[in-house]
Structure 1
């Protein structure tokens, strides 16, 4: 039981593998939540499930010394080319050529059988056969993707194909590092890191271009921070060699990426279970501004909101405020983005109005007559998403008919 723990290389390998399995499991849950009945999602789940099982069984086999777990892990590795072909067919929305499909299926089954009956004992021979089979299958899948009929796919599908192919090519060196018998000089197996990077890139690839750039920047920051953390940890170890530094960096990177995927998935799940104010308004059947305001009053951001009409604004000179607030949607109490100088009469009155109600934001719902909504947003909640939500809420309320104006 202690043989694996006595080997620093196996300890690092197993930690990286378990982190890879965790990240893949999180990605599988995320994909299933996004598209529970999608055919392509099911194909991705099969392929990722095989890799997650490989990492888990291999790590447990190293720690326990179990020959059976090691052989089952090799069986999962032998089945991965079949999973890659299944995903490729799903991306192309058509079957692969029959001879190629039969060759991949036969090769996978032969390697699975060889691993289960113990023909993997001469490690270099089996590793060479497995690595060659995986590379040939990936090359076959890449050829199918490259020669696809682009007209039969949508623009987004063609973009997804290019991204998947590029990511698979970039993580190929990580996957090859798992064949220790072929590359004995590699200090740590990086297959788990490659899987985590692939999953992280694929999950941030959706959405608009600005959002993709932001998520890509966050991923780059996580990778750089993890590598620096691993290098810093190596500095506290006297006489740490390159192998030790590489293992610590790999462990830190795998851990950070796995934790980040788990945290992002949990955050998304919590947000889905607790619908925000925009979701409440989108689902609302209220037909008037007053009914909508009453509904959003239950949201924490609007519990202390104050609605003021021209009568309540009498001491702030509505005649001055009315033209000043023309074409104004939302004002921030800090004065950021105000179109007037601080000494302008309208600016002075609006600043006094917001200060008297301790409001952080002013939403203009109507101009003639004035209809204002004062909202107090805590500092800890004043993020860009909240600012956007306030602007959208204001737009929805402003376009809704008002009972008082009917």
Structure 2
């Protein structure tokens, strides 16, 4: 009973981490051709661990059937991702074999009437493991000269991930491997970490992350074993797996959080690149729906009469964007006489940032950024937008 409950918790953490990654991929609209394949593979895995956890928690037959039906699609999803990474089709015989394996697994799930525990389905274990080994061989025997260095790195990481996952998947089947718990959820979370690091971190950073997570897991597990007086080896192994799953899931969430902001920044940069540069009004009109600029206030002419326009112009020409924080800290060697009019102007509009849009006529833009976007790359992109707006105005003056 303890094994089942612990497995359900492990599966729940894996489902949460995998689902978070899938959502991040979907939110990040600027995905490449591999994105649908990544969504399919990790979506299948998230659904599998989610329904398997629910099957244990609720005991409902529908979740049990769904568990076997979903996992039968995993070899097919892995093959599709491998083909995308290699930019070529797998051998015809391998494709037929894996398609057949998925079909057999799906039929096995839908038409098996007896209640058989997941760990006892040795036929299903053989289908899944042999299919994944075939995909691993396909990745490992690739033509390295046909791929770039970055592509070879991505393929190598997936191959290493599969090499780790395959023996850990075997621990889910008690008839195949005598294990205190099924460790495949941990392996799935590790693969997501590898996928997140692709193109961002080099191999050394990935290994450093792995060592830190393992060391932290060991330290926390040892502390809990002492505090809870856990004596049995199997219970210690289950506790280690749970702590590791928690730490990896937390790491994933921290890594995934910037995806939403990155998608917004990418969208803004795309809009800047395609905006109409024939006039300032047209340029700003094309950016009016951007989240950071949709509340842009433009002050000109009479609205600036009380703020010493000449002094404002001199200060704003020093940099494309000024923030309340920068002005308050006196950055850029701004004296009180130049700082106060800008701070008053920002306060009157309840804005956090100000920039020069054009010299003649004098037009100033005021924007309010949320607290979380200040002092980040969002400010750099906003400054770029103001700089391009000013160049557009000067070009058409």
> Structure 1 length as normaliser, TM-score?
0.66
Corresponding position of 1:239: 229
> C-alpha distance in 2, partners of 1:122/1:315?
79
Corresponding position of 1:363: 355
Is the counterpart of residue 17 in structure 1 residue 11 in structure 2? Answer: yes
Is the counterpart of residue 288 in structure 1 residue 279 in structure 2? Answer: yes
Corresponding position of 1:180: 174
Corresponding position of 1:165: 159
| Aligned with 2:188 (options 179, 195, 204) | 195
Within a 5 Å distance, the mapping from 1:238-387 to structure 2 comes to: 238-241=228-231, 243-244=234-235, 246-248=237-239, 250-251=241-242, 253-254=244-245, 287-289=278-280, 307=299, 312=305, 318=311, 322=314, 328-331=319-322, 332-335=326-329, 338=332, 340=333, 347-357=335-345, 361-365=353-357, 373=365, 381-387=373-379
| C-alpha RMSD of the superposition | 5.5
Deviation track 1:242-292 (CA, whole Å, cap 9, x = no partner) reads 654554554455457668868988986799799987677667658533666
TM superposition shift of 1:397: 1.8
> C-alpha distance in 2, partners of 1:246/1:157?
36
Residue 333 of structure 1: SS of its match in structure 2? helix
Residue 12 of structure 1: SS of its match in structure 2? helix
| Aligned with 2:382 (options 390, 393, 396) | 390
Corresponding position of 1:3: none
TM superposition shift of 1:384: 0.7
Q: Is the 8 A contact 2:300 2:363 kept in 1?
A: yes
Deviation track 1:164-194 (CA, whole Å, cap 9, x = no partner) reads 223323444543432334443x433222232
Moved more, 290-299 or 386-395: 290-299
Q: For the structure 1 residues 228 and 356, does the alpha-carbon distance in structure 2 shift closer, same or farther, using more than 3 Å as the test?
A: farther
> C-alpha distance in 2, partners of 1:96/1:161?
14
Q: For the structure 1 residues 374 and 59, does the alpha-carbon distance in structure 2 shift closer, same or farther, using more than 3 Å as the test?
A: closer
Q: For the structure 1 residues 357 and 78, does the alpha-carbon distance in structure 2 shift closer, same or farther, using more than 3 Å as the test?
A: closer
Q: Is the 8 A contact 1:123 1:181 kept in 2?
A: no
Q: For the structure 1 residues 216 and 25, does the alpha-carbon distance in structure 2 shift closer, same or farther, using more than 3 Å as the test?
A: same
> C-alpha distance in 2, partners of 1:293/1:109?
54
Deviation track 1:309-330 (CA, whole Å, cap 9, x = no partner) reads 8985995875x984x8766333
| Aligned with 2:2 (options 5, 8, 11) | 8
Corresponding position of 1:4: none
| Aligned with 1:93 (options 87, 102, 121) | 87
Deviation track 1:57-114 (CA, whole Å, cap 9, x = no partner) reads 4334434556786576456545533443333233323332234444445555666667
Residue 401 of structure 1: SS of its match in structure 2? helix
Within a 5 Å distance, the mapping from 1:100-179 to structure 2 comes to: 100-105=94-99, 117=112, 127=122, 131=125, 134-153=128-147, 156-172=150-166, 174-179=168-173
Deviation track 1:345-383 (CA, whole Å, cap 9, x = no partner) reads x64443344344456555345679986656665655523
Q: For the structure 1 residues 86 and 134, does the alpha-carbon distance in structure 2 shift closer, same or farther, using more than 3 Å as the test?
A: same
Residue 363 of structure 1: SS of its match in structure 2? strand
Corresponding position of 2:45: 51
> C-alpha distance in 2, partners of 1:297/1:48?
32
Corresponding position of 1:62: 56
> C-alpha distance in 2, partners of 1:221/1:307?
55
Deviation track 1:108-146 (CA, whole Å, cap 9, x = no partner) reads 56666677558997998854x655654444343233223
Q: For the structure 1 residues 156 and 316, does the alpha-carbon distance in structure 2 shift closer, same or farther, using more than 3 Å as the test?
A: same
Q: Is the 8 A contact 1:222 1:257 kept in 2?
A: no
> C-alpha distance in 1, partners of 2:84/2:16?
25
